Amino acid sequence: MARVFAGGEALDVPLQDAADGVSVRDHALFKQLCYGSLRHYHQYSGFLRQCLTSPLKQRDADVQALMLIGLLQLFEMRTPDHAAISSSVEACRALGKPWATRLVNGVLRRCLRESDTLRAQLREHEGMDHPAWLVKALRSDWPDHCAELIATNNAPPPMSLRVNKARTDRDAYLDQLASLGIGAQPGALAKQSICLDRPLDVNELPGFFQGEVSVQDEAAQLAAHLLAPVQGQRVLDACAAPGGKACHILETHRDIAELVAMDSDPQRLSRVAQNLERLSLEATLLCADACVPEPSLGEFDRILVDAPCSGTGVIRRHPDIKVLRRSEDIAGFAKQQQAILSGLWPRLKPGGRLLYVTCSVLRQENTDVIERFLSETADASTVAIESSWGVQAGLGRQLLSGTHGADGLFYAAVEKTR
C-alpha cells in the first residue's frame, strides 16, 4: 500500500506482486484490506493528521499504510480491537522498524478512544472520503446527484456478467447458476447481462473457461449495441485493452467483415489476445497510437473510441483513483481525447459512425470534448442516443455511477457526413 500512497503506483501491480506471497485461504481478506484502506484513505488520513505531531517521512510511508490498515480493521471490519492493534504493532517489527511500535500502538488506541471527536473534526472532504478537488467537481457537474455519486464511490462494486449468446442464452445460464446455488438476477440495462448477488472467483462460474460467460459491467455492455455494426462492415476498436468490448462486438455481430483491436501498450494488447482465445474469437491485433494511426489501416465503417480518462465513473472498482488522481490531470486527459478523435477521424468512412466512450462522470472529459470536436470538424454530426437509461448530457448520454448498479460511463455517437 505504501507503493500506492507514497510511490504513486496504481494498485494493480503492487497487488499482484504481493498476492503471490499470500495463501489462497487469505486472498479475500488480503484484497479487502488493500481496497478498503484506499476507499477510506481520506477519512483515516484525517485521523492521522490529528494524532501525529508531525507528518511521517517519505521513507516511513509503510508505517502510515500500516496505521491506515489498522484503522480499517478497527472501524470497518469485524476484527476484534485487541487483534487489530496487536497485529499492527507486531507488523512494525516485521517491517524492520521496531521504533514504530509505540507510535502505532498509541495512535490506534487514541483513535479507538476518541473516534467520535476525531470524526467530528475531519475536514469536509475527509469526512466524504474523497479528495477536495473531486468533491468540488462533482458538485459543479452534478449538483443534484453529488451525494449519491460519493456514496456509490465509497461502496464495494457488484459483479456483473455478460452471457455469450453464441454459446448459450441468459435464461439458460441463470438456470445453471441456480442449480449450483449461486444467486443472480437478469441485468436491467443490457440484454446479455447478469448481476450476481455476491462476487465470485471466476473459477466458480460454470462455463467461464469454455467461453459461455465473461465478467463485464452492464454499462460497458451497451457499447456493442450503440456501435451497431452490420454485415460486411470493418470495425476498429481503437483503445481495445483488455478487450471486453471488442469480444462483445464479435459475439453479437458475427457477420462483420473484420474487427481490428488496437492499443498502444503491447502488454495490455496481450490481454486482448487472451480474452479472444478463451472465447474462440478472431480479430486483427495492432499495437499503435490512436492519435497518429497509420494510413495503411484503411477506412472503417465503425470506430469505437473507449478513450483514456480519469476513471471517475469506476472509482468503486479502482479506489486508488481517489488517492492518485489530481485535478490538473483532467485537462491532460481531455487534450489526449481530442487528439485521439482528430487522429482517428480520417480513418472513418463517409456515412460511418464513431462511438465515443469514457468511464468518467466529468463534463470536461465528456460533453466538452465532443462539443469542441464537432465545432472543429465540418463533416461531423451527432447521432441522438434514444434510450431510457442515463441522463442527457449535452450531445451524449451519461450513466451515473450506481444507476441500476452499473458503472458511470458516458456515450456519444458521431457520424461522418457523406
Residue 245: in which H helix or E strand, if any?
A: helix 244-252
pLDDT at 418: 83
pTM of the model: 0.95
Residues 6+ apart with CB under 8 A from 381: 374, 414, 415, 417
pLDDT at 7: 87
Instruction: Express each pLDDT in 168-227 by its tens digit.
Output: 999 999 999 999 999 999 999 999 999 999 999 999 999 999 999 999 999 999 999 999
C-alpha cell at 366: 465528456
pLDDT per residue over 85-98, tens digit each?
999 999 999 999 99
Q: Which cell numbers hold the place of 40?
A: 477510506
Closest CA to 357 of 393, 318, 325, 316: 393
Q: How confident is the model at residue 312 (pLDDT cuts 50, 70, 90)?
A: very high
- The per-residue pLDDT for range 211-256, each reduced to its tens digit, is 999 999 999 999 999 999 999 999 999 999 999 999 999 999 999 9
* CA of residue 187 relative to chain centroid, distance: 19
Note the maximum CA span of the chain: 73
Active site residue 359: yes
Contact yes or no for 215/239 (Cβ under 8 A): no
Place of cell 452490420: 230
The angle at the Cα of 152, spanning 178 to 25, to the nearest 5 degrees, equals: 55
- Is the pLDDT reported for residue 324 higher than 90? yes
Supply the pLDDT for residue 232.
Answer: 97
Cα dihedral value 339, 344, 350, 354, nearest 10: -80
User: How crowded is residue 414: how many other Cβ atoms within 10 Å of its Cβ?
Assistant: 24
Residue 358: phi and psi, rounded to 5, are -135, 160
Cell reading at 1: 500500500
Cα separation of 175 and 162, whole Å? 15
Taking the C-alpha atoms of residue 369 and residue 341, their distance in angstroms, rounded to an integer, is 9
Per-residue pLDDT reduced to its tens digit, 258-308: 999 999 999 999 999 999 999 999 999 999 999 998 888 999 999 999 999
pLDDT of residue 386: 87
- pLDDT tens digits for range 20-37: 899 989 999 999 999 999
Q: Is 241 strand, coil or helix? A: coil
In whole angstroms, how far apart are CA 113 and each of 44, 110, 121, 216, 390?
A: 14, 5, 15, 43, 44
Backbone angles phi, psi at 393, to 5 degrees: -130, 95
276 close to 252: Cβ distance less than 8 angstroms: no
- What DSSP character marks residue 6? T
Q: Which of 34, 195, 239, 359 is the catalytic position? A: 359
What is the overall mean pLDDT for the chain? 96
The stretch 134-159 carries a mean pLDDT of 97
